[in-house]
């Protein structure tokens, strides 16, 4: 049996709606959980920073220097960037779980345990 959820009213953005959805597993599908339950996924500076970190890792793998990012955040080793990624992901998990709990508490999200 899967667990589903739905927003009781449309959340007011382009990526989420009030249709019935499978509740994403926070451990297996973090990005979907963030998308549905982060309080400001689209405008989040934390999400933008995480995307920049992943781009930086990709640039390093491609042998490209990302001087703009280094100027802004300082030079970091690949291990230091990975540590920042882990820390940033944990922050997004916390913010999303906190908002999910808040949405449940104020009854803006409904949990459905049925076979759909």
Q: Which helix (DSSP H) or strand (DSSP E) does residue 6 occupy?
A: strand 4-7
Per domain, the residue ranges of the chain are: 4-112
Distance, CA of 20 to chain centre: 20
Residue 107 has pLDDT above 90, yes or no: yes
How far is the C-alpha of 62 from the C-alpha of 80, rounded, in Å?
Answer: 18
pLDDT score for 116: 55
For the ranges 9-13, 85-89, 93-97, 108-112, which has the lowest average pLDDT? 9-13
Question: Any idea what the Cα angle at residue 25 is, between residues 114 and 21, rounded to 5°?
Answer: 45
pLDDT score for 84: 95
Percentage with pLDDT > 70 across the chain = 97
- As a whole number, mean pLDDT of residues 90-103 equals 97
How far is the C-alpha of 88 from the C-alpha of 100, rounded, in Å?
Answer: 18
- As a whole number, mean pLDDT of residues 38-47 equals 93
pLDDT digits (tens, 9 = 90+) for 52-83: 999 888 877 777 776 777 777 788 888 999 99
């Amino acid at each position: 049996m899967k667990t589903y959820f739905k927003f009781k009213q449309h959340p007011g953005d382009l990526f989420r709606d009030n249709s019935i959805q499978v509740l994403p597993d926070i451990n297996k599908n973090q990005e979907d959980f963030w998308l549905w339950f982060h309080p400001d996924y689209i405008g989040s500076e934390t999400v933008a920073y995480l995307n920049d970190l992943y781009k930086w890792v990709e640039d390093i793998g491609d042998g490209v220097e990302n001087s703009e990012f280094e100027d802004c955040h300082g030079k970091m080793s690949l291990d230091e960037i990975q540590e920042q990624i882990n820390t940033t992901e944990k922050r997004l998990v916390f913010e999303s779980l906190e908002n999910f709990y808040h949405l449940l508490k104020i009854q803006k999200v409904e949990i459905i345990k049925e076979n759909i």
